[in-house]
Amino acid sequence: MMRFFLTNDDGIAAPGLWAAARTLASMGSVLIVAPANNFSGYGPAHPPTQSMAYERYRGEGSALANITAYSLSATPAACAHVGLSGAFGRRPIDMVVSGVNAGANLGRDVLYSGTVGAALTAQLLGFPAMAISLDYSGSGVAHWETAGWAIRTVFNMWQRRVDSTPLVFNVNVPNLPAAALSGTQLTTFGTDSFLGKYHFRSDPHDEHTVVATRHNNGKYDEGRGSDTWNDIAAVARGRVSITPLRPFPDLLCVAPWIEAEEYAEIPSQFESNLTR
């Protein structure tokens, strides 16, 4: 039996989490440690608190076979860290799943996605991980069952890998019935983001507030990017976007803009500052 760890950033009661839980429970055992509240947009933030409140979750879905669920007053990354470190019982974990997020995590927005942040934390701890998001705007029907199909598909893809290096799969699913999908596609990152601009509130009685206007009304521009292999374009074409991320130490590199030999020694003008 496969063993899964599940978390998210929308909170323990989010329907996307339990859509993932139902899929994973049909494949093996599931340990859930998810935020007690919504922590969307927190990226891999891990506040330096020494204690966090938790509760055994007994809400809808928690009685499903093969599922043990806890809510934790913590960010998604902290939930991943706490759960995977053995606080709720040490057990082998085959794969970590973060999601299903309500809303896509594409392009540059992955930098501050709590869904992706939890998966990156799991990878840093040595576990293969999947961050999965449904391109759902919040109105109309949410096709969570399609995201469940995508979880199975990516997990099977991971099982067929020869290289055992833990990876993070950032998966974005069009909000369509599974039968209406145009397939799956391995992708790179697009260059767009829904980040917009902030401006002062026009209300003269509320002059100390700034409000945001989302870029392009919160919609991604599929045309931005160097090619049609980017994640934004794939989802716009009805394809499940699968972006395999490199191992964590390779995500940040020192930019090669200085000559190493020029700074081999501390410049004399800085020595006095260092010895004060």
Q: What residues contact 23, with CB distance under 8 A and at least 6 apart? A: 148, 151, 152
pTM given for the model: 0.85
Helix (H/G/I), strand (E/B), else coil: 168: strand
Helices (H) and strands (E) in the chain, counts: 6, 11
pLDDT of residue 64: 84
Angle value at C-alpha 104, between 18 and 117, nearest 5 degrees: 75
Phi, then psi, of 35 in degrees rounded to 5: -60, 145
Q: Give the total residue count for the chain.
A: 276
Q: Which domains, ranges and CATH numbers included, belong to the chain?
A: 2-192+225-275 (3.40.1210.10)
CB 71 within 8 Å of CB 82: no
Phi, psi of 134 (to 5 degrees): -105, 130
Residue 272: CB partners within 8 Å, gap ≥ 6? none
Q: What number of other Cβ atoms are within 10 A of residue 184's Cβ?
A: 17
Characterize the bridge pairing of strands 168-174 and 240-245. antiparallel
Q: Which token pair is 8?
A: 């998210």
User: Could you report the average pLDDT of every consecutive run of 10 residues in the chain (276 residues)?
Assistant: 96 97 97 96 86 91 89 97 92 95 93 95 94 94 98 94 81 97 92 67 71 60 62 94 78 57 52 46
Paired residues of 244 in beta bridges? 169
Sequence-ordered strand ranges (E) for 166-249? 168-174, 184-186, 197-200, 210-213, 240-245
